[in-house]
Amino acid sequence: MASSIGPISLIVPCYNEAARLDIQEFHDFAKQNRSVHILFVDDGSVDKTLAVLETVREGNEANVSILPCAQNGGKAEAVRLGILHALDKFAPRMVGFWDADLATPLNAVMSFAKVLDEKPAIEMVFGARVKLLGREVNRRAVRHYPGRAFATVVSNLLRLSIYDTQCGAKLFRVAAHTRYIFAQPFISKWVFDVEILARYMSLLKRSPDELAATIYEYPLEKWTDVAGSKLQPSDFIKSFLDVWRIYRKYL
């Protein structure tokens, strides 16, 4: 049964995802949730990603769109361009981004939207990969422990007690300042999620406590570490350096 919450624009950045995209899952979700407009951003893929995306769009033309980029600009830029495009074209109440591999199932979108719908003070809902009893969160140790170290560094630098900055499932309430937050390119390709938080603090002159009051971390019911991630071990080192660059620029 389709939800009445909306309209929602969901940005899905894609780079060489032809072999990993779950066509049926995207197709079914789009059909069952007409209040959600899925915008795929093809980030200069050199495989058959664009053709696969057209297959997803068939039969769902009303709420599935594709934004092709001529060159690969990285996930951060794909998300940023997608959000600006959605704000211009679809006038959503909520806008967010979701990893194309569906490590976080699409049905969580409506759970995130319900939080924003029921809690007026909340502006951002972030997926949190917390391995609790009764929840299916399966993450490889080689990614889990560096991820926890990274989250600790971010929390200390931002003075914000956030558990998981890097989960690729986020939804934002659209406000007058949303375009302002995403107006300029990010300085980091991978940890732009942290940069978004830094921009909320710097550009909107918010204290850590004021920012914390607008964020809701949603413990995911299911998250699967899907094979084929483009994140390499060396990227963790780059991520720590990027966090320092972000801190120096904004805070």
Exposed, middle or buried: residue 236 (CB in 10 Å: 0-12, 13-18, 19+)?
Answer: middle
Amino acid 142: pLDDT: 67
Average pLDDT over residues 60-74: 96
Q: What are the C-alpha distances in Å from 16 to residues 19, 97, 121? A: 8, 17, 38
Choice among 101-105, 124-128, 132-136, 196-200 with the minimum mean pLDDT:
132-136
Amino acid 82: pLDDT: 98
pLDDT tops 60 at residue 1:
no
pLDDT tops 70 at residue 3:
no
pLDDT tops 90 at residue 233:
no
Question: Using an 8 Å Cβ cutoff, are 155 and 247 in contact?
Answer: no
Confidence of residue 140 (pLDDT cuts 50, 70, 90): confident
Question: Using an 8 Å Cβ cutoff, are 38 and 30 in contact?
Answer: yes
Average pLDDT over residues 97-102: 97
pLDDT tops 90 at residue 150:
no
Give SS3 for 44. Answer: coil
Query: Cβ neighbours of residue 28 under 8 Å, at least 6 residues apart?
Result: none
Which CATH superfamily is 8-250 part of? Spore Coat Polysaccharide Biosynthesis Protein SpsA; Chain A (3.90.550.10)
Confidence of residue 224 (pLDDT cuts 50, 70, 90): very high
Choice among 130-134, 230-234, 239-243 with the minimum mean pLDDT:
230-234
Altogether, the residues listed in the chain come to a count of: 251
Amino acid 159: pLDDT: 93
Average pLDDT over residues 112-141: 93
Please count the CA atoms within 13 angstroms of the CA of 65 that sit on its side-chain side.
15
What is the per-residue DSSP string for 205-216?
A: T--HHHHHTTEE
pLDDT, tens digit, 9 for 90 and up, residues 163-193 = 999 999 999 999 999 999 999 999 998 899 9
In percent, the amount of the chain with pLDDT more than 70 equals: 94
Amino acid 226: pLDDT: 86
Q: Is the whole-model pTM more than 0.85?
A: yes
Nearest to 194 by CA among 170, 215, 165: 165
Average pLDDT over residues 228-234: 64
pLDDT tops 90 at residue 201:
yes
